[in-house]
Amino acid sequence: MNRLAGKRALVTGAASGIGRAIAQLFGQAGALVLVADIDVAGAEHTAETIEGRGGRAVHLRCDITDEADCRRAVDLAVQLGEGLDIVVHSAGIIRRASVVDTSVEEWDRVMAVNVKSIFLLSKHAVPLMEHSGGGVIINISSGWGLRGGRNAASYCASKGAVVTLTKAMALDHAGQNIRVNCICPGDTDTPMLRNEAAQLGEPIESFLTDAAHRPLGRIGTPEDIAQAALFLASDAASFVTGSILVVDGGGLAG
């Protein structure tokens, strides 16, 4: 489990769900993890869990839609005297509505959290990675970034943007030895997925049962996505950049 020994990783949205699972697994794999989230208590809990398992972690409040906060997160990596090798953009939100039923404010918020945040944090992280000789950026998109879904217009648009942004960044920064890849999870049992059921007014158990209707016959777990992220962050993926890794139990296969 020392696949990331000596590495320094910043994970956004790490207070819960997929981000939390990635942060914890990276900590177990030997990385120093900067646990970033607007939910300070949740971020602190994640960091404490990593440290309780023998890892190293620092939590910080970070509003990823605010450039000053993104800059401070990168500056913290410098202040710790450690640098930055890996950034995982895991924070995300969803609004279940068509374009007709989505307000301008909701659209802007989804785009800010899901897309603009990657731009803002990468803008400050990439120069530091370049100075250190390279790095890895992992963007979390969605299966709905590859095909549309009903009543999720802003979310689908934002996650589609993450897919193509990943490819553009991979081209732009390959010469700096920075690999940029994307994970597209299928339905994964997280607080955000359960919030979708509430938005749609559906019973949570039937919602989760429907989400499990895929070839492998189950819903995804945050740990499933974390294992994919660990692969992309490690030297095992040293020749992988600009790739879109679908982790969805076969949901998009047919």
Active site residues: 155
Q: How far is CA 161 from CA 24, 110, 156, 178, 207, in A?
A: 27, 12, 9, 20, 26
Structure token pair of residue 79? 């202040």
Q: How far from chain centre, in Å, is Cα 161?
A: 14
CA–CA distance, 111 with 177 (Å, rounded to integer): 28
DSSP letters of 49-82? HHHHTT-EEEEEE--TT-HHHHHHHHHHHHHTT-
CA–CA distance, 104 with 71 (Å, rounded to integer): 27
